Structure 1
Amino acid sequence: MNVIKVIYEGGQEEIVEKKSRFIATLERVETKEEAIHFINQLKKKYWDANHNCFAFVIGKQNEIQGCSDDGEPSGTAGRPMLDVLLGEEVHNTVVVVTRYFGGTLLGTGGLVRAYQKAVKEGLKDCKIIEQKEGVKILIRTDYNGIGKIQYVLGQHSIHIIHTEYTENVAVEAMIPLELLDELKITLTEVTNGKAEIILENAYMYAVLDNQIEMFDSLPEVINLLSNKKST
């Protein structure tokens, strides 16, 4: 998977259904241990609540999943909450929905709708970003080639991280993985083979406020590309 949606900043939202309060709190996590720690923190914070139901999804393919009804009727809270996370295709996320009972029973269908609505409203309060697989490259060229390189990168909306001007020009840029082969060919052609292209590292990255932010390093991607080059 080259693109995944993740929470960059967690959020919280509250809804009220028949006087019952449902407080959804969401956060980004990278491991099951982090998810459990977050859940335990919320249980301590809302120790006086009737229920602290939770769900989490972790991994690019949602390899790790978990949920709990925390005393609500089976299948009315945790699984419906998990279904919202999976349906919204948000990865590496944990959500706890805290319920303070308002005195009126909602029924199984009402509970499912309430817990799902709480998670959806909580997601709206989060800052969600798209992370892509990319390769940070270093391009070395002479002054005759820099204008052509900048034009090609601009045509593909490639973000330049840094440019250094010395005897020659060195440009660091983040290239989406799926565009790497095409851009290497194009940059070589427009500079008549004078551009040196070095693969530095691979990352999951996102563009935030027109700036590149790098997250997980992906050494296996660089290894794959290096083996591909050598063969």
Structure 2
Amino acid sequence: MLLNYYTVKNKVESELSIKKSRFISHVAPVGAADQAEDFILSIKEKHREATHNVYAYLIGHQGLIQKASDDGEPSGTAGKPVLEVIKNKKLQNVVVVVTRYFGGKLLGAGGLIRAYSQSAVQGIEAAIEVEKILHKKLSITVDYPHFGVLQRKIEELELPLEGIDYTDVVTINVFAKAIEIENIKRMFINLTSGQACVTEKENKYLDFVRK
């Protein structure tokens, strides 16, 4: 699994007008090609009267799955520019559909490339870009005398806390970055003089707003 990657968190729609043509950008996060295709189909159905519904998507590390369509625009003037925007933003697991309603004025090849690129950029920038960082859940069981020192350290490190169970012992469920997991486990054990029982659980990607 990747330690981290960048994508968008939410679906968004934005619009711009260029020489009387309307360009509507639709952006969405997706986890697989079939999800991207379903999203594209939904936009095509919603905008069935549009002149073009150009799209591009990129899924997986280093563009394992990528696809672009000019949807009737001159070859290379629409889908590819949208895909290049996604790549330049270093995003993955994202689909962008740019709907065009023709306004009567031809833009030429260069104008089309600029228009579709601009629309894709505007759409992505309207979304919340996030870095997904791979974390591993840790379940830490400790006696009550050692609980306070662990709680303070977790707060100090700002580790995402899932919950705390209080029984005859205390069980703390937290997430730590996968790349740091061994150091974090060792730290918890050392803080409690070897009394903490630290168990690794499932992996999970957590979202952090891209800086």
Q: Normalised by the shorter chain, which TM-score bucket?
A: over 0.9
Give the C-alpha shift of residue 57 in structure 1: 0.7
Which residue in 1 is equivalent to 2:129? 128
Q: Does 1:100 align with 2:101?
A: yes
Equivalent position of 1:75 in the other structure: 76
Q: Given the two structures, how large is their TM-score scaled by the length of structure 2?
A: 0.93
Q: How far, CA to CA, are the matches of 1:67 and 1:185 in structure 2?
A: 47
Could you tell me which residue of structure 1 aligns to residue 45 of structure 2? 44
Separation in 2 of the partners of 1:34 and 1:159?
A: 29
Q: CA deviation at 1:207?
A: 5.5
Q: After the TM superposition, which of the residue ranges 78-87 and 58-67 deviates more from structure 2?
A: 58-67
Aligned to 2:160: 159
Number of paired residues?
A: 208
1:120 is displaced (CA, Å) by: 1.1
**Aligned counterparts of 1:141 and 1:65: Cα–Cα separation in 2:** 48
Structure 2 gap segments, 5+ residues each: none
Whole-angstrom CA distance in 1 between matches of 2:105 and 2:117: 18
Identity within the alignment, %: 34
Q: Which residue of 2 aligns with 1:221?
A: none
SS of residue paired to 2:75 = coil
Q: State TM-score, norm by structure 1.
A: 0.85
- Superposed CA deviations along residues 138-180 of structure 1, whole A, max 9, x for unmatched, are 0001112112212222232211110122221110001110111
SS of the residue corresponding to residue 9 of structure 2 reads strand
Q: Point out the more displaced range, 134-143 or 85-94.
A: 85-94
Q: Give structure 1 regions of 4+ aligned residues with deviation exceeding 4 angstroms.
A: none
Partner of 1:84: 85
| Partner SS state of residue 91, structure 1 | coil
Q: Structure 1 stretch 115-124 or stretch 34-43: which is displaced more?
A: 34-43
Which residue number in structure 2 is paired with residue 63 of structure 1? 64
Post-superposition CA distance 1:100-154 (Å, at most 9, x none) = 1111111211111110111111112223322111111100011121122122222
Of residues 198-207 and 140-149 in structure 1, the stretch that sits farther from structure 2 once superposed is: 198-207
